[in-house]
Chain A
Amino acid sequence: MGDIIFGIASIILGVIGSWGLYWLLDRAVRLLPIIWQEKLRAVSFLLPAAALLLLVSFLPLIQTLIWSFMDARGKKFVGLENYIDLFTSVEFLGILLNNFLWIVFVPAITVGVGLMFATLTNQVGPSREKIFKSLIFMPMAISFISAATIWRFLYTYQPEGRPVIGLLNAIVEAFGGTSQPWLTIDAGRLNSFLLMIIVIWLQAGFSMVMLSAAIKGVPEETIEAARIDGASVRTIFFKVVVPQIRGTIMSVFITVLILVMKIFDIVLAMTGGNFNTSVLGFDYYRELFVNSNFGSASAVVTILCVLIAPLMWLQIRSVRNVEENR
């Protein structure tokens, strides 16, 4: 009961407090001479956001970069040692390989599946379209942890002699195979691929919704013209529709790519990073909470940031494009 009251009180206080903060800032600026008022007007609206970003996101990033060159307790400067240790460890190279596989497969397949759903649902009439789309889109509302619960149950393995309760093993047995503890099998990184399926399952709805909206925006004349010229359905789709929605395809691809590079929860909840399924986002967590190594954890996250940096540039560029087309 105390928590409920505390919660409600803090929500009300928070809202009034932040509103009051902006009111105070406005008052403060108005006390200044006119010239300063003009110069500081933006500040009274930006200050809280700037302070928060500086203190909780930008300065900590710099601190993390510095720590990546320090020892486990963040006390002594050790140069490149953390990085050398990482890049000479077979385990870490395996982690990079996993990240690479995630990057290669998940965004492309998610776009492909989304495109398939988008074209199919566009053909069945508005009422059916709505139902199908809702069902495919539903996993978007599910947390990574709940999704992991759902899929761990699907992949679950019972020791021999016990009845099969996992769907995957039931299907395998129905086709004459034997039950396997799938998540422990790292041959050909099979278990990593099983984890990727979950993320594709989660994100396909997002991809479908974005691409469906884009396809609906393709002008009918272009398709009609191609049809009159005698182009086949397939040609029309790949040569007329796809080129016109390339921008959306790219933005879905980049969004899923960024998500996949930071992937963490799924690995934690499915395998705990065991059986060679670890990725950078998870390795950071392990270095920090299992090994208590600040230096190494910071180095891992720095590597992640370096890999993401080109995407920042892509992001800025795509935003510029949007602005110029406005």
Chain B
Amino acid sequence: MKKVLHKLSGFKLGTTLMLIILVAIWSTPTLGLLLTSIRTQDSAANSGWWTALADPLGTEWTLQPYINAINGGMLDSLLNTLIVTIPATVLPLIIAANAAYAFTFIQFKGREIYFASLVALMVLPLQSALIPVLRGFVWFKQTTGIELIGNFPAAWIVHSAFALPLAIYILRNYMLTLPPSLLEAARMDGASYYQIFWKLVMPMSIPAIASFAIFQFLWVWNDYLIAFIFVGEQKPVMTWKLMRMLGQYGGGWQDVAAGSFISLVIPLLVFFSLQRYFVRGLTAGAVK
């Protein structure tokens, strides 16, 4: 296909040039903010970032905005985001892998109907559950004395629940491709379903698990709504902090810009180092 398209177009250079222009346009908004994050407050407020780009040597570059953002608690927020994100990625994966295993290899009554409702749940908006779940957490506090709201576990629970339909769907799709003969052989050798899952199916499903893990990691990292409602200002995550900075303006654009880029470092690292798995996950249907 690619070879033919080459022959068809014949002007590879023109296409490349066009792509360079398009990619430049696509990257300009990010570049503008990036340059602003290393300018002084005075120059960021009084001249466009493109003037600094036109005269890079005559411009005063500074890391002060990053220092300001860190002094404003951005590193604590980074930590909070990590503590929300890692369990909210690992837990739904374990739970979903078990469920996907049952959906793939164990016969039970109503399997198809349950699976269809799972697919329907995939598109359910998060908002439909927020108030009742919030109330449920309040009730939980009253009966057990354990405060969930304002603490990390609240976010883990909600993120896990809303990740499940998609995670089960993707993992089941992958497990369907595993050779059934291998599992039958293990059954013959007297392995229990439980052993087969942990020793055979789970390790063999690593590629699908990796794809979904990256996807879920980025999703939770970038989430605002769940963090805002269930964790809030007691343990501010980065999206929360950034939203706050956006609302205040006081410090000027360069501080918001620096905060924004601090929040981007880890997702971009994850994204570029694991892009291959991420793309594989997408093409397998890993989208909310």
The answer to whether A and B come from one shared complex is yes
Closest residue of A by beta carbon distance from B156: A14
Q: Is the CB of B131 within 8 A of A294?
A: yes
What A residues does B50 contact at CB under 8 A? 167, 170
Q: Is the CB of A265 within 8 A of B8?
A: no
Q: Is the CB of A165 within 8 A of B218?
A: no
Q: Is the CB of A141 within 8 A of B268?
A: yes
Say if the beta carbon of B83 comes within 8 Å of chain A: yes
Question: A19-B94, A149-B260, A201-B29 are contacts. A315–B119 as well, Cβ < 8 Å?
Answer: yes
Question: A15-B94, A213-B283, A216-B2 are contacts. A265–B225 as well, Cβ < 8 Å?
Answer: yes
Say if the beta carbon of A67 comes within 8 Å of chain B: yes
Q: Is the CB of B102 within 8 A of A45?
A: yes
Question: A213-B283, A312-B120, A316-B119 are contacts. A146–B260 as well, Cβ < 8 Å?
Answer: yes
Say if the beta carbon of A95 comes within 8 Å of chain B: no
Q: Is the CB of A144 within 8 A of B161?
A: no
> Would you list which residues of chain B between 248 and 288 have a CB under 8 Å from chain A?
253, 256-257, 260, 263-264, 267-268, 270-272, 275, 279, 282-283, 285, 287-288
Q: Is the CB of A165 within 8 A of B45?
A: yes
Closest residue of B by beta carbon distance from A198: B29
Q: Is the CB of A132 within 8 A of B19?
A: yes
What B residues does A42 contact at CB under 8 A? 102, 106-108, 111
Q: Is the CB of B23 within 8 A of A123?
A: no
Say if the beta carbon of B12 comes within 8 Å of chain A: yes
Question: A153-B253, A284-B127, A316-B119 are contacts. A45–B86 as well, Cβ < 8 Å?
Answer: no
Say if the beta carbon of B65 comes within 8 Å of chain A: no
What B residues does A57 contact at CB under 8 A? 121, 124, 129, 161-162, 164
A16 CB → nearest B CB, Å: 11
A247 CB → nearest B CB, Å: 12
Which of B66-74, B179-187, B203-211, B238-246 makes up part of the contact surface? B238-246
Say if the beta carbon of A11 comes within 8 Å of chain B: yes
Q: Is the CB of A154 within 8 A of B29?
A: yes
Q: Report the bound CA distance from A269 to B129 in whole Å.
A: 22
Question: A60-B133, A138-B268, A315-B119 are contacts. A11–B176 as well, Cβ < 8 Å?
Answer: no
Q: Report the bound CA distance from A156 to B50 in whole Å.
A: 14
- What count of chain A residues pass the 8 Å CB interface test? 121
Q: Report the bound CA distance from A210 to B28 in whole Å.
A: 24
Say if the beta carbon of A77 comes within 8 Å of chain B: no
Q: Is the CB of B87 within 8 A of A14?
A: yes
Say if the beta carbon of B174 comes within 8 Å of chain A: no
What B residues does A261 contact at CB under 8 A? 125
Say if the beta carbon of A101 comes within 8 Å of chain B: no
What A residues does B165 contact at CB under 8 A? 53
What B residues does A204 contact at CB under 8 A? 26
Q: Report the bound CA distance from A288 to B135 in whole Å.
A: 13
Question: A122-B5, A142-B267, A301-B127 are contacts. A18–B91 as well, Cβ < 8 Å?
Answer: yes
Question: A165-B45, A206-B282 are contacts. A220–B275 as well, Cβ < 8 Å?
Answer: no
Closest residue of A by beta carbon distance from B46: A163
Question: A165-B49, A326-B176 are contacts. A146–B1 as well, Cβ < 8 Å?
Answer: no
Q: Is the CB of A14 within 8 A of B1?
A: no
Q: Is the CB of A216 within 8 A of B1?
A: yes
* A interface: dominant SS: helix
Q: Report the bound CA distance from A125 to B16 in whole Å.
A: 10
Say if the beta carbon of A152 comes within 8 Å of chain B: yes
Question: A61-B124, A144-B224, A319-B119 are contacts. A150–B95 as well, Cβ < 8 Å?
Answer: no
Question: A64-B132, A135-B23 are contacts. A146–B125 as well, Cβ < 8 Å?
Answer: no
B288 CB → nearest A CB, Å: 7
**Interface on B for A, CB 8 Å cutoff?**
1-6, 8-9, 12, 15-16, 18-19, 22-23, 26-30, 32-33, 36, 44-50, 76, 79-80, 82-83, 86-87, 90-91, 94-96, 98-99, 101-102, 106-108, 111, 116, 118-133, 136, 152-153, 156-158, 160-162, 164-165, 168-169, 173, 176, 192-194, 197, 218, 221-225, 235, 239, 242-243, 246, 253, 256-257, 260, 263-264, 267-268, 270-272, 275, 279, 282-283, 285, 287-288
Closest 7 interchain pairs by CB? Answer: A143-B222, A56-B161, A60-B132, A7-B83, A60-B129, A49-B99, A141-B271
4 other A-B residue contacts (CB within 8 Å) besides A3-B80, A268-B243: A7-B86, A49-B95, A153-B29, A233-B8
**Interface on A for B, CB 8 Å cutoff?**
3-4, 6-7, 10-11, 14-15, 18-19, 22-23, 26, 30, 39, 41-46, 48-50, 52-53, 55-61, 63-64, 67, 117, 119-125, 128, 132, 134-146, 148-154, 156, 162-167, 170, 201, 204, 206, 209-210, 213, 215-220, 223-224, 227, 233, 236, 251, 255, 258-259, 261-262, 264-265, 268-269, 281, 284-285, 288, 294, 297-298, 301-302, 304-305, 308, 311-313, 315-316, 319, 322, 326
29 residue pairs of the A-B complex, CB under 8 angstroms, read: A14-B87, A42-B111, A44-B194, A49-B98, A50-B99, A56-B162, A59-B132, A60-B128, A64-B128, A64-B131, A67-B131, A67-B132, A122-B2, A132-B19, A138-B271, A142-B267, A144-B224, A153-B36, A165-B47, A209-B279, A216-B1, A227-B4, A233-B8, A236-B8, A255-B287, A269-B243, A297-B131, A308-B124, A312-B120
